[in-house]
Amino acid sequence: MAADFNALKQDLTRRMDGAMETLKKEFQGLRTGRASPALLEPIRVEAYGAVSPLNQVANISVAGPGLLSVQVWDKGLTKAVESAIREANLGLNPQSEGQVIRVPLPPLTQERRNELAKAAARYAEQTRVAIRGVRRDGMEQVKGWDKKHEVSEDDAKRNEDEIQKLTDQYVKQVDAALVEKEKDIRTV
């Protein structure tokens, strides 16, 4: 197989993008002071003999800065949705009004803000580790090409430098996303 650095670089970029997408999803689950439908999306509800994501049995919307509204499509599922939200360990106390469930978000304590900031830092570090793992795979591929003499030593060095630059670029994105999330969490 001939060495194709462009295909390798595309693959590494795709995998690093995937790590960034995962980080963004994890950050959405970290509740800040603002209401976001993403907070309730991971919740699963027992409906029609199966367990379904909340957004498949109801419409989740923001009703105010600290209030979410859940419009249940089937009136018979209202109680199940309400109890699923209550049992999700998010510290929420939903209130049912017919087929609409109002979910007020309690203000965050300083202790809870610190816990959320630590969780954000853990997610960011996991993403950095994933990105460095992708870099390692790329470097090993280039070293393999060099050993098999599929590329010159100069090309191998150039390819490794380019992989390192790509890695540094993604790690900077992770750091910037973490700073932004921490600022968001700590804003009262």
Tokens 């087929």 identify what position?
Answer: 99
Query: What percent of the chain has pLDDT above 90?
Result: 38
Instruction: Kindly list the domain boundaries of the chain, sorted by start residue.
Output: 5-29+109-186, 37-104
Q: What single DSSP character describes residue 59?
A: E
Q: What is the pLDDT of residue 115?
A: 79
Distance CA(131)–CA(127), nearest Å, equals: 6
Q: What is the pLDDT of residue 33?
A: 63
Band (87; pLDDT cuts 50, 70, 90): confident
Count of beta carbons in the 10 Å neighbourhood of residue 96: 14
158-164: long-range contacts (C-beta < 8 A, 24 or more apart)? Answer: 159/5, 159/8, 162/5, 162/9, 163/9, 163/12, 163/135, 163/138, 163/139, 164/135
Q: Out of 70-74, 132-136, 151-155, 166-170, pick the least confident.
A: 70-74
Higher-pLDDT residue of 16, 93: 16
Q: What is the pLDDT of residue 1?
A: 43
Query: What percent of the chain has pLDDT above 70?
Result: 95
User: Residue 2: pLDDT above 70?
Assistant: no
Count of beta carbons in the 10 Å neighbourhood of residue 15: 17
Band (118; pLDDT cuts 50, 70, 90): confident
pTM for this entry? 0.68
Q: Out of 32-46, 54-68, 96-110, 158-172, pick the least confident.
A: 32-46
Pick the CATH number of 37-104 from 2.40.160.20, 3.10.20.30, 1.10.10.10, 3.30.1360.40: 3.30.1360.40
Distance CA(185)–CA(108), nearest Å, equals: 9
User: Residue 103: pLDDT above 90?
Assistant: no
Band (139; pLDDT cuts 50, 70, 90): very high
Q: Out of 26-30, 58-62, 80-84, 97-101, pick the least confident.
A: 26-30
Topology, domain 5-29+109-186: Topoisomerase I; Chain A, domain 4 (1.10.132)
Q: Which residues fall within 8 angstroms of residue 81, CB to CB, at 6 or more apart? A: 45, 54, 57, 58, 70, 72, 101
Band (39; pLDDT cuts 50, 70, 90): confident
